[in-house]
Each structure stands twice: as structure tokens, then as C-alpha cells.
Amino acid sequence: MKATVQFTINGQSNSVEVPPMKRLLDVLREDLQLTGTKEGCGEGECGACAVLMNGELVNSCLVPALQAQGATLCTIEGVSTEGHLHPVQQCFLECGGAQCGICTPGMILATQHLLNKYPNPTPEQIQEGLAGNLCRCTGYMRIFEAVQTAAEALHAL
Amino acid sequence: SPLRKEGRAKVLGHAQYVDDLSLPGMWHGATVRSAIARGRIRSIRLSAKIDWSEFAVVRAADIPGENTIVHLTKDHPCLAAAEVNHPEEPILLLAHPDKTALLAGLAGVQVEYDELPGVFTIEESEAAVANNDAERFVWEGTGHNGTANCFRQYQMYSGEAKATEDGLADAFERADFIVEGEYHTGAQEQLYIEPNGVIAECEKDAAGHVVSVCVRGSMQCPYYLVHALTLVFNLPEERCRVIQTETGGAFGGKEDFPSVIGSHAALLAMKCGHPVKMVYDRAEDMAATTKRHPSRTRHRTAVSKDGELLGGEIEIALDGGAYSTLSPVVLSRATIHAPGPYKWPFLRVRSKAMATNLPPHGAFRGFGAPQSLFAMERHMDRIAHVLGLTPEEVRRRNFLATGDCTATGQPLTEPVDMQHLLTWALEESGYYEKLARFAEENRSSPIKRGVGFATFMHGAGFTGSGERRLNSHVEMDLLDDGRPRVLVSSTEFGQGTNTILCQVAAQTLRVPYESVAIAQPDTSLVPNSGPTVASRTAMIIGKLVERASTQMLETLRAHAGLPADHTCEQFTEAALRYLQEHGALRNSVHYEPVKPVHWDDELYRGDAYPAYAWAVYVAEVAVDMNTYTATVTRFDALQEIGKVMHPVLAKGQVEGGVAQGIGYALYEKCVWKDGRMMNNQMTNYIMPTSADLPEIHVHFEEVPSVHGPGGAKGIGELPMDGPAPAILNAIQNATGVSFDSIPLLPEDIFERFTAFTEPHGGSEDLNPEIDRDTRVEAPEVTA
């Protein structure tokens, strides 16, 4: 049994015919070939599959496709514009916020979400805001620096 | 610092990891695994309710070559044939075009066993040997491969054996104090965020014989997998192609294990005639793949009353799991690092890796050193406590210095200044001020704060004659547009391999970093530069890239008119001229030791490593006596790693290692039941989040070494060694209680305090302060 699910993704309206309980993660990766969203644990612990849904940060491995009906979604593929890095991406690149890179898409979306909420985040707000996104490589310090630098860069725009 | 070579693709989400790839007609694979720890396989039945014609099924009997995953010996089967020796051992493989059909397939395979008794700890394994309980011999030792239940043992003396034994006897005779301690460390999961995964293809001839196999996937050591495939398929090396895809973290967990999953996927591809993808889900990855070896280390040390180490006996036991895999070499590194950065007039280290019915333990950043250095550095604080000296005094009394010999008899010819590093680290971290302030504040606060440190070293590169045996091979060539390209099998998995090797080439060739390319590790294209392990890439492979680059310049000078003191434009002109006249350019170099290496594998004496990194790590902790939670509140990591090649990457390596070390000490516990990991989920195996970590301050002392390019030494594993002992030393400083086992969870702290404040158990009115000063480290002190 399949359902038609319509949503706006990375600025474009889209519709897919999928089983209604199919994980949004699999819809993104398999039906839309948006493989920038990663699977790390499949149980909502690691945040590698994080995307923005109606501006909220969600773990797409825990979202059934049907729940995305009518939603506005943003994945890592929607963060840059025409090959130009978003300031958050640029700061992750320059500050060493990405090492193996597997957590990076989710981490960048978590950062987007954080900076929308707190344009001038305190260190504690950064620590708490990214606590749902696990990184095994960096020890988070370079990521904190990237977020802090990105906040400043966004103000300068 | 130049930008990470593949960083742009990573921040854009464009980097292609194995699960992002799909080949035409690709099937999906899954593994039927042992439900028990040990037993004979009585029968394997496929349910009649399933249409098996849709599936490819691979059994041990289908393996065209040898049924083995080769590491150092051939004891590890590719698929269990007659017996299983650990939970989750692979028995049968399935593939199907539809991933979702695999679950039904897995449920449709019934394996019946005649169960055999297992051993699940070092102690149970030892007891079987002591009782000559052959029923519980889970490993039959032969010759060089150890004895019953013991994969390998080493005996390492600080000098000639007899003289050292005599010296030890005398040292213990005249010692003012003999200090004993026993230290335990638990298993640790690498927890790379990308699980193990591969895609395999197999080409057959008209008669159905396998002609070649190709495996691409997440891995550290492409040529290890080539070697494994040659045996499983009975094919020559050139018919086994391996390609590393972008790898989402490894930490040793993708050193030996890809040989297993890679062989499995290739067997399925052989059977079904389609490419086969196998990507483990998190639960399978955690339950079935390798972890850090659990350990037990015993110290017995003769010391003078002013803190001089007179003699020592160290006994190390590792839990190797069910097959020997890499345990002998992990044990080797544990053994050589056991003495710490200290002078030992007389020392004996005995070590052994025991067999148990756990899944085989394997490589994890540090590779045995974190275990034995945890013991050494906790023991130094115990010695200080017994002697009434400070941890600083005891260490300063015994530090190795330039010109001294290590416990293996290796003279330290390059400058070593642990005294200076310790002074700097203690100042930088505000150690003295905190020591005084916390002692004062702790009197009235339920939060007990403390500071502690560890001083240690880590050898870079393969042990002893290992680098010479590897004989790593590096090449450089020119792309059509005249840009130079690095060809190595050394892999990028976050540490920065791509970036630093291109940096070395750029600096040597005097061209912009951006113009240097590095090939994707594909064994049909790149030479074997050895495995990406052992803190060897920057130092050993970097040096080879430097030499290959120099050779390229010489070639271009001799044959393409490249002037001395060239500009980058002149380089490109010369490169294009060379290509036009000669078609192609490949420069090729093999490993050559910078200095002669003397190492005796039998006696375990000599130059253990080309170079060492030296470090002092200082931890500040807070222990909440209401919740018994210990938290690291600040961390200072100071190290001397030769010349720092890339400050951003280097800091990232240290911070990441410290975070893993904090997890190792305080959070990450593998819960075992009859050899099976019970908490094989991220939900209940707890690694540090961004909210759990303190500020990590990283400091570098730069003393250029002759062994690496531009003076660099290895750095990858070092930061894993120091955090755990530094943290437990700080907890002792905070609470007055010595904890000698990690991971140290709140329940462990709770148990310890409630156990000795209320011997009869259970109490509502716990006041650990009362007993803090009266507790005596009784049995380990003899005057």
C-alpha cells in the first residue's frame, strides 16, 4: 500500500508514492537520491540523519513519510546556493569542524537551527543545541569554534 | 593552514560513502549469526515457507579458496563450518534484490547447536588452564602461537635476562617500599558514526569459475582486504581489486574487520552474479565487530623512600576474544608501552593475550598502549600516595631524558624533556592554584573537585622491524594538466591523510597545495603504502611522499629543463614538456629507515619505534557526592609531536582523542552476558555528547624529528593514552579514594563509597568524608 506524500524540499515542491510508514530518511536517500542525509544509528540517537522540517530539527529516521505531508523540508543539499558554500559550511571547512564528515550534514543543519533560534549563542547554548548530534572524531571543539565563527559571519552579512 | 582536501565535498553533503553508492542490478546481503557463544553446529535448516530460489545462500562449503580470514594466523574462519566460538559468529550469508526481504530470510534459517561450555573473562580462561580443564580450552596453542587458551605471551626485560632477575631480587630486597596494584580496563566500542559496509562485484568465466573480485567500501587498509580475498577466492593479488570509499570514522575498527565483511559480500556476489551491498545496521555493527581489548595489569614495584624506582614487575593480560586476529600485536604495543616514560634499572614485563568466547577484540586507537599506560600512570600516583610524596615528585625523580635508554634498551638520541613538559602543563592548567583551592572548598562542598595528570609517550610507526617488513611503497605521477598526484594506499577517514600528504608534496615540489591531487585508494592504481594505522601516516608515509617529490623534481630537472629555484609556473611547464616527450611520469620510492633500526624479536630488545611523541595531560574533575557522578571540568593536553604540520588538524586529532579518552574513563561500558554485548545500541552505550565535554586546551611543543617530513612525528593514537589515568588520578585527588578500574560509572563510585562507609550495606546517611582520611591502602604497602 502506497500513499502520495507532497512536500516542499530545498525550495521545490515534490511528491512521492511511498508506503506511508517508510522512514523519511529512506524517502530522501532512496526515492529522492538526496544521500547527503546519513544513517548512523536508526534510532534517533546520533543525529546523522537530522533535517529541518518546518524549521524544526528532526531525526529523519524517526519520521514516517506521511508525517512529512505538506511540510517544508531542508536537507544538506539545500544549504548551499549554486555551489556557493553557506557561511556555516564555510566555517565548518575552515575551522576543522568536519573530519570524517559523516556527522557533518546533520551537524550543519543542527547549527542552522541553533543560529535561527539564538543568533548570538553562548557556549552553553551551542553545547546544548548540538547535544543531539554525535561526533566521534572532533571532540566537538572545532565544531564549537565553527558555530561561533559562523554566528559572527552571519551578522556581518 | 590549508583547507581539508576533501572538506568541501563533506560540508556540501556530496562526499560519497559506501551506502550512498548503488551499482546497477545490485543485491543486498545479510549474515546469519551464531545465537550461542560456543558449540558444535548440528544442523542448518532453511524454512520451507520461504522461496529460497529468490535468494543467494552462501555456506562455508561454497568458499572457493580457504575458509579463513587471515590476519597473523589462519585460525579465524570466514564462515563457521562445524563449530561456533563466539556469539554473532557468521555461519551463513544471504543476498536478495530487495533489502526488506532479507529480514524474512534471516528468520527462516534455523541453526541447531550442541552447546559447549564457554569462558567469558580473562580469569575464567586462566582458570581453565590452571585446572587443566580441557573442555574449556577454547584455543589450542601450537608452537609460536602460544599455549592452551593463550594466543601469545611476551617476556620483556630491561637488560640481559639473568642479570635483570638478579637485579630485581636485590631491588626488592633493599627497597624502602614495595607498592603493588592491580588495574582493569573494559572493552570499548570504536563507534565510528558510519557502520562497516562494502559493495562487492565478482566476475566469472564461462565455466563459472571466479576470475576476479572487486570490493569497494569503508576501510583503513585496502591491501589487508586484498590479502584476505586472495585466500578466500584462491586468486592472485592482481585479480582482487579493492577501492576505499569515503570513510566515516574508523579508529582501528576498520583495520581488520573489512576483511570479514568484504570477503562475505564478495562470496555473495560470486553466488548471485550481481553486485552485493552489505552495510551493517548499528546493532549488528556493535554486537559483531571488534572492540578494544579488556585488560588486567598488575604492578609490583620496589621504590626508595625518596621515590626512585629501583625495580618493577608488570604483568599484563588482555582478553583477545575467540580468535587471535590482531591480539599478538596489540599485546606487543601494550607490553612496550607498559613501563611509561621512566627509567627502570631493572624491569620485567610479562604479558599474555587470553582466548575467551567473546567476539574477537581488535584494533582501536592506541592499540594496547591505553591499557598498559592506564595501569602505569595510576600506579605512579599510588606510589606517591604510599610514599607521602606528590605525584609530581615521583615522576620527576624517574623521567627518561635525552641519552637515556628505554626499557627495551633503545637509546633516546632525539631530545626528550619531560621535566619541561610537566612544568609547562602544570602551569598552563593552573594545577597548583587549583590543588590548594579545591582542598579548601571540598571541606564544605558536596561537590568534590580535584586535579590529576598523566605523563606518557606513544611510539609512532610499526614496532621494531615492522616498518622494514612492510617495505611501504609510494608513488607520484603527473596528471594530464601537469599537476602532481600522490599515489598511496594510505586512507583518509577523518584524520587528514589527504591534506597532510598533499601539503608535504606541495612544499617539496614548491607548488600550491591546491594544485596537488591525491588518488582515491584503488589497489589497481595505487601501490601498497602499508596500512593506515599505528600513527605512521604523517611520519612514515609523509617522509616517503617527500622523497618521491624530491625524485620528481630531479627527474624534471634532468629531463624537462626544470630550473633550480623554480616557480610553480615553471614546474607546470616542465611537467607538460615531460609528458609531451615521454608520455607519463611515475616516481616510485620504498621505505628506508632514516637511521638503522636494531630490534630483536626474540628477546624483545632494541629500537622499538623510530620516534616517540611525549605528553603531559592534566584533568580537572568534579565528583558530585549526591549523585556520584564524576565530570571532567577542564582538560589540558600538552604534547611534543615534532613539527606540527597542520595546527587545525593536529588540534582536532588531540581533542577527538581526548574526548574518546574521557568516554573510555567515565561513560563507555560494554555490558556482556555469556559473551554477548547486551547494550549494542547508541541508546545505552554512552559516548560523550557536546554537552558532556569540558573545554579541551591543546598545547604543542615542537621539537623537529629526523624521522618525519619537515620534522613531524606521529600523533593519531597518543591522545587516547593519557585521559583515563589523568581523570582517575584527579578523582583520587578530589575524593581521596583510589579507583583502579575503568569505565568508572556513577554506580561504581556509589558502590565504593557505600561499601566502606556502611559495611553492612544500605544507608540513607552517607558521608564519605568521614572515611576518606582513615582509609588505608592496606595490602600493597610493606615497609
| B490–chain A nearest CA distance, Å | 15
Q: Please, which residues have CB within 8 angstroms of residue B555's CB and are 6 or more apart in sequence?
A: B578, B585, B587
When scoring B5, B6, B10, B681 by the number of chain A Cβ atoms within 10 A, the one with the most, hence best to mutate, is: B10
> Which position has the higher pLDDT, B783 or B247?
B247
In 3-state terms chain A splits into helix, strand, coil percentages (rounded to 5) of 40, 20, 40
pLDDT at B241: 98
pLDDT tens digits, B405-440: 999 999 999 999 999 999 999 999 999 999 999 999
Give the mean pLDDT of chain B. Answer: 95
pLDDT tens digits, B646-691: 999 999 999 999 999 999 999 999 999 999 999 999 999 999 999 9
DSSP H or E run through B434: helix B431-442
- Cα distances from B229 to residues B79, B233, B264, B615, B771, in angstroms, run 14, 6, 10, 40, 60
pLDDT at B52: 98
Contact A136/B696, CB-based, under 8 Å?
A: no
Cα(A46)–Cα(A107) distance, integer angstroms? 10
Cα(B124)–Cα(B685) distance, integer angstroms? 25
Q: Which of B144-153, B278-287, B456-465, B494-503 has the lowest mean pLDDT?
A: B144-153
Which sign, positive or negative, has the C-alpha torsion A58, A62, A65, A67?
A: negative
A109/B contact by beta carbon, under 8 A: no
pLDDT tens digits, A28-56: 999 999 999 999 999 999 999 999 999 99
| A121–chain B nearest CA distance, Å | 14
Beta carbons of B589 and B576 less than 8 angstroms apart? no
Backbone angles phi, psi at B643, to 5 degrees: -75, 130
pLDDT at B143: 61
Across the range B155-162, mean pLDDT stands at 96
Compute the radius of gyration of chain A from its Cα atoms.
Answer: 15
When scoring A133, A137, A138, A144 by the number of chain B Cβ atoms within 10 A, the one with the most, hence best to mutate, is: A137
Backbone angles phi, psi at B260, to 5 degrees: -75, -60
Beta carbons of B61 and B81 less than 8 angstroms apart? yes
Q: Is the pLDDT of residue B781 over 60?
A: no
Across the range B288-316, mean pLDDT stands at 98
Whether cis (ω within 30° of 0) applies to the bond prior to B236 is no
pLDDT at B144: 61
E strand map for chain A: 3-9, 12-18, 50-53, 56-59, 72-74
Assigned C-alpha cell, B363: 584494533
Beta carbons of B395 and B476 less than 8 angstroms apart? no
Assigned C-alpha cell, B166: 638478579
Around B278, how many Cα atoms within 13 Å sit in the side-chain half-sphere? Answer: 26
Of B633, B660, B648, the C-alpha closest to B700 is B648
Q: Which of A123-127, B262-266, B467-471, B554-558 has the lowest mean pLDDT?
A: B467-471
Backbone angles phi, psi at A46, to 5 degrees: -100, -25
Q: What residue of B is the nearest CA neighbor of A108?
A: B11
Q: Is the pLDDT of residue A74 over 60?
A: yes
- Reported as a pLDDT band with limits 50, 70 and 90, residue B723 is very high
β-pairing, B629-640 vs B695-701, is parallel
pLDDT at B141: 78
Across the range B266-273, mean pLDDT stands at 98
pLDDT at B71: 86
Backbone angles phi, psi at B223, to 5 degrees: -75, -20
- Reported as a pLDDT band with limits 50, 70 and 90, residue B755 is confident
- Reported as a pLDDT band with limits 50, 70 and 90, residue B780 is very low
Cα(B453)–Cα(B381) distance, integer angstroms? 9
Backbone angles phi, psi at B257, to 5 degrees: -70, -35
Of B532, B489, B6, B19, the C-alpha closest to B261 is B19
Q: Is the pLDDT of residue B763 over 50?
A: no
| B463–chain A nearest CA distance, Å | 25
A41/B contact by beta carbon, under 8 A: yes
pLDDT > 70: percent of chain B = 96
Beta carbons of A105 and B10 less than 8 angstroms apart? no
Q: Helices H, strands E: what count in chain B?
A: 21, 29
Assigned C-alpha cell, B728: 582517575
Q: What is the CA angle A98-B507-B571, rounded to 5? A: 120
Across the range B70-75, mean pLDDT stands at 89
Q: Please, which residues have CB within 8 angstroms of residue A131's CB and are 6 or more apart in sequence?
A: B689, B690, B691
pLDDT at B142: 67
Q: How far apart are the first and last CA of chain A?
A: 48
- Reported as a pLDDT band with limits 50, 70 and 90, residue B756 is low
CA dihedral B143, B147, B150, B154 (to 10 degrees): -60
Q: Residue B613, SS3? A: strand
Interface of A with B in 125-154 (CB under 8 A): 126-128, 130-144
Across the range B56-78, mean pLDDT stands at 95
Assigned C-alpha cell, A51: 533535517
pLDDT at B597: 86
What secondary structure letter does DSSP report for B560? S
| A6–chain B nearest CA distance, Å | 24
DSSP H or E run through B39: strand B39-46
When scoring B5, B11, B20, B192 by the number of chain A Cβ atoms within 10 A, the one with the most, hence best to mutate, is: B11
Across the range A66-94, mean pLDDT stands at 97
Of A37, A42, A137, Cβ closest to residue B282: A42
pLDDT at B768: 36
Beta carbons of B453 and B632 less than 8 angstroms apart? no
Q: Is the pLDDT of residue B578 over 60?
A: yes
pLDDT at B72: 87
Compute the radius of gyration of chain B from its Cα atoms.
Answer: 27
Q: Which of A129-143, B290-304, B754-768 has the lowest mean pLDDT?
A: B754-768
Interface of A with B in 85-104 (CB under 8 A): 85, 89-90, 92-96, 98-104
Q: Determine the angle formed by the axes of helices A87-95 and A104-117, rounding to 10 degrees.
A: 120
Across the range A111-138, mean pLDDT stands at 98
Beta carbons of B91 and B80 less than 8 angstroms apart? yes
E strand map for B641-709: 672-673, 676-677, 695-701
Strand partners, B631: B622
Across the range B377-397, mean pLDDT stands at 98
Ramachandran region, residue B419 (left: φ > 0; alpha: ψ -120 to 50; beta: rest)? alpha
